[in-house]
Amino acid sequence: MKYKGYEGLVSFDEDAKIFYGEVVGIKDVITFQGTSVNELEKAFHDSVNDYLAWCKERGEKPEKTFSGNLRLRIPTNLHAHLTIEAARKGISLNQFITNKLQS
């Protein structure tokens, strides 16, 4: 689900017969639930709107999802290998890794 730039990941609890979800890609916790798709969608929108209002009240900037920056720890030998391969291709390490992930 998407709303105002936020992505909600939805699951279904078979025992409780309820859909529930959480906004992904941010540190703050935004959750929502509903017993139907319409109810779930409304709860998702309400939760995002409540989060944005809460941030505004506190004078804080709301977190945005998926900035495009990803911190990743890898073994030093892999880091070296990837850097050398990128240099051989005449591209940045960032571009080399992006190309690999897209393929």
Cα–Cα distance measured from residue 67 to residue 26, given in angstroms and rounded to the nearest whole number:
10
Instruction: Please name which of 28, 27, 36 lies closest in space to residue 10, comparing C-alpha atoms.
Output: 36
Instruction: Please name which of 43, 24, 16 lies closest in space to residue 32, comparing C-alpha atoms.
Output: 43
pLDDT tens digits for range 1-17: 999 999 999 999 999 99
18 with 35: CB under 8 angstroms? yes
* pTM over 0.85, yes/no: no
Tokens representing 4? 């105002």
Residues in the chain with pLDDT values less than 50: none
